[in-house]
Chain A
Amino acid sequence: MKILVLIKQVPESQATRMDEKTGTLIREASSSVINPLDLHALECALLLKESLSESVEVTCLSMGPMVAERVLREALSMGADRGVLLSGREFAGSDTWCTGYALSLAAKKLGKFDLILCGERATDGETGQTGPAIATFLGLPAITFVSSIQRSGRCWQASRMMEDGYETVEVEGPALMCVLKEASVPRLPTLQGKREARGKTIEVLGASDIGASSDDVGLKASPTRVVKIFRPVHIKQCEKLSALDAEGAERAVDRLIELLVEKKLI
């Protein structure tokens, strides 16, 4: 069985910088990590590898600059078998449509997978669109907001966390799933894992390897354009009340109730 895990490298902190001209995020190599939800996806794959009776190969695929090799190596040190990086200036500025398309071409190039996993969204773009797009390009069903995955006979069973409850769905044959944090608890890389990962080669694919042209990937091919990026003005004028003594507490609580009445919330 073959499982593909899609991994994105994201800035470690939320303090992002952006290119004012192109309106795209500047990704700084020094402080990049694996997108947190992708770690949960990887963990799901590793748990299946350990629990299923058949042998399972876990491949991790990332699209990004060459330095994204590092996050793939981290995935290897956690227990993934193979790391593949899709990289090249042709991909720069790709929106979710183009990113999904490029990753689907790379996935096709790597062969047929029984299951493709990714995090529900990335902490930088926060769109959650690339996973479902890849599923569509590969002709696979997209099972989103997944909180647990099980193999049941020839089927995948997944629990989806929706607005008001959990739904269990089943699919026979390959599928792409976008997982939530609840799906697993990611392991830490072991020393031995790190040592082994150092010896492995990260395969690198470029645009020509996957047959992608500038009509399909990159900024120019992207349907969407970022017009403007700005800092939100969300610092509010806070009416701060000290409620440290009994009298202050009572006054503060009364003011809060008054506000709720003013706003017609009660």
Chain B
Amino acid sequence: MSKGVWILAEQRNGVVLDVSFELLTRGLLLASKLGVPLTAVLFGSGIADKELNRLVERGADRVVFADAPELASFLPEPYTACLCSLVEREDPDIVLAAATTSGRTVMPCAAARLRAGLTADCTSLDIEEDTGLLLQTRPAAGGNIMATIKTPERRPQMATVRPHSERPAPVVPGRTGELIRWRPEPSLLSSRVRRISYKAFDEARTIQDADIVVAVGRGFKRGENVALASKLADVLGGAVGASREAVDRGWAPYSWQVGLSGKTVSPKLYIAIGVSGAVQHLAGMQTSETIVAINNDSEAPIFLYSELGLCGDLFELLPMLTEKLQARKG
């Protein structure tokens, strides 16, 4: 059997995360171009076949589930050891993971150990026609440049992929595949790092998971005005993000910060309100599918990146927008 394309799926509390299905979309394209099978690798504890089968329904020919209590939630050492052990045994051509906090940890650790080429936070992946090599394209330097990178000799070719940069693979009812339950040997499961506690963010939705992000910037003038954006986000079913200036002024927590020193998001809709669009901020959101800006400065750089721009007073426009949307919902 050919060595194939692998994606590293993710789960939380035993539920496969959507970002895994986005990776399947990437994997399906590459595997079909290469004519090789697509494997989904998942780490966890005691997940039932029915849940694993969701990866098959969305395109995996094979699911390898590393099953151990030590793998229930992310820990850098056992995840790295198990991934390396699987790769060494089966020698895949390509391994993709999501550019999440866990993907961006396990992949560089594994690549170091395997002496594999690894490209971070890719927004586009393809196969080079004459060589069959993986072409990995990613933004760098605050989105000012794009680089296409490949790994000519070392294997596997590894990449982390920006979440939300691709749609989840659709369910194909009745699709079948192989489920392999693997119990890693104890030596692979030892960890010096212990997980002590976990505390979820207070906000209902986190900006990296949200399909819609409403971002607040300096234009809000005062912290209490941020409530206007929260209201809009609630009506839209989205999350609130913030520019660095809003966070530095204490109007928003750091977990909301979008940009070079904060988070990178790629939602379906990004509404930048009172955000001028400094390069550092643009770096964290410019791959969003649709960008809309509301700003009273018609020369603000954010408009250059927006599909639609409203030049006016946010304190007038924002409540009007929220009210109209609410009225539509009834």
A residues adjacent to B (C-beta < 8 A): 11, 14-16, 18, 23, 25, 36-37, 95-97, 100-101, 123-133, 135-137, 141-145, 147, 157, 160-173, 175, 180-182, 222-232, 234-244, 246, 248-250, 252-257, 259-260, 263, 265-266
**Which residues of A sit under 8 angstroms from B212, Cβ to Cβ?**
265
Whether B321 sits at the interface, judged by CB under 8 Å, is yes
Question: What is the CB-to-nearest-CB distance from A96 to chain B, in angstroms, rounded to a whole number?
Answer: 7
Contact B148 A226 (CB under 8 A): yes
- The residue of chain A having its C-beta at the shortest distance from the C-beta of B135 within the complex is A227
Interface of B is mostly: mixed
A232 and B139 CA atoms in complex are apart in Å by: 8
Binds A, one of B172-180, B215-223, B300-308: B300-308
Contacts known (A143-B193, A236-B304, A249-B320); A257 close to B147, Cβ less than 8 A: no
Minimum CB–CB distance from B185 to chain A (whole Å) comes to 19
Q: Within the complex, what minimum Cβ distance (angstroms) separates B172 from chain A?
A: 22
A202 to B176 alpha-carbon distance, docked (Å): 62
Question: With the chains together, A255 CA to B45 CA distance in Å?
Answer: 49
Q: Which residues of A contact B279 (CB under 8 A)?
A: 14
Residues in B whose Cβ lies below 8 Å from that of A166: 198-199, 201
Interface: B206 (CB within 8 A):
yes
Asked if A256 contacts B308 (CB within 8 A), the reply is yes
Which residues of chain B from 114 to 142 have any CB-CB distance to chain A below 8 Å in the complex? 115-121, 135, 139-142
B interface residues with partner A (beta carbon < 8 Å):
12, 76-77, 80, 100-102, 104-105, 107-109, 111-113, 115-121, 135, 139-154, 191-201, 206, 208-209, 211-212, 236, 254-255, 257, 260-262, 268-269, 279-280, 283, 286, 290-293, 298, 303-313, 316-317, 320-321, 324-325, 328
Are A265 and B290 in touch, CB under 8 angstroms?
yes
Whether the Cβ atoms of A123 and B328 lie closer than 8 Å is no
Given the complex, which residues of B lie within 8 Å of A133, measured CB to CB? Answer: 108-109, 111-112
Neighbour of B305 across the interface among A144, A226, A235, CB < 8 A: A235
Extra A-B contacts (4), CB below 8 Å, given A125-B140, A172-B192: A236-B307, A240-B303, A259-B307, A263-B290
Distance between B112 CB and nearest chain A CB, rounded to angstroms: 4
Flag if A225 contacts B151 (CB, 8 Å).
yes
For the complex formed, measure the closest distance between the CB of B137 and the CB atoms of chain A, giving whole angstroms: 8
Q: Are B269 and A260 in contact (CB under 8 A)?
A: yes
Q: List 26 A-B contacts (CB under 8 A).
A: A16-B141, A16-B145, A36-B261, A96-B118, A123-B260, A126-B142, A126-B260, A129-B104, A129-B111, A132-B105, A132-B109, A136-B109, A141-B76, A144-B76, A147-B254, A165-B200, A167-B198, A167-B199, A168-B196, A175-B192, A181-B257, A224-B117, A227-B150, A234-B143, A236-B307, A253-B317
* Residue contact B194 to A171, C-beta cutoff 8 Å: yes
Q: How far is the CB of B237 from chain A (nearest CB, A)?
A: 9
Contact B197 A164, beta carbon cutoff 8 Å:
no
| Cα separation A160 to B146 with both chains bound (whole Å) | 29
Q: Which of A144, A160, A226 contacts B147 (CB 8 A)?
A: A226
Q: How far is the CB of B21 from chain A (nearest CB, A)?
A: 16
- A126 contacts which of B121, B150, B262 (Cβ < 8 Å)? B121
- Is B144 in contact with A97, judged by CB distance below 8 angstroms? no
Query: Inside 8 A of B100's CB, which chain A residues have their CB?
Result: 163
CB-based contact B193/A240 at 8 Å: no
Contacts of B254 in A (CB 8 A): 147, 161, 180-182
Q: Which B residues are in CB contact (< 8 Å) with A250?
A: 320
Q: Of B143, B268, B269, B312, which is within 8 A of A244 by CB?
A: B312
Q: State whether A239 touches B309 (Cβ < 8 A).
A: yes
Of A37, A142, A227, the residue contacting B76 (CB under 8 A) is: A142
Q: Which residues of A contact B142 (CB under 8 A)?
A: 14, 123, 126
* Inter-subunit contact B261/A37 (CB<8 Å): yes
